[in-house]
Amino acid sequence: MEIDMRIFLPALLLLLTPLAYAAKAPTFATADGAIRGYDPVAYFTLGDAVEGKAEFSTEWQGATWRFTSADNLARFESDPAAYAPQ
């Protein structure tokens, strides 16, 4: 039985494409953490970029997220998708 490469190769690519995306980190992160260590909640509460502190941090989507306070950390943990960059 001979395989028709015109059908096989595109089908193979369709099957493997989700694996290529899954291998990528889902969140932009540097050595400082997600979004370069800035507090994502502060963008909403203060309207400004403020660097987070290591003592107020959590792991989400494969990255470390830092916050300026325990309150901001708790807000993020209650609904991370609401505060994470889209």
Q: What is the pLDDT of residues 9-50, one digit of tens each?
A: 666 567 766 654 544 456 778 889 999 999 999 999 999 999
Q: What is the pLDDT of residue 41?
A: 97
With CA atoms as reference, report the closest residue to 42 among 31, 56, 27, 22: 56
- Confidence label for 52 from pLDDT (cuts 50, 70 and 90): very high
| Type of residue at 86 | Q
- The rounded Cα 28 to chain-centroid distance in angstroms is 6
Locate all alpha helices (DSSP H) within the chain, ordered by sequence.
Answer: 5-22, 40-45, 70-78, 80-83
Tokens coding 36: 């370069």
Q: What is the DSSP letter of 63?
A: E
User: Average pLDDT for residues 76-83, to the nearest whole number?
Assistant: 96
- Mean pLDDT over the full length of the chain: 84
pTM above threshold 0.85: no
- Stronger pLDDT, 2 or 55, i.e. the higher one: 55
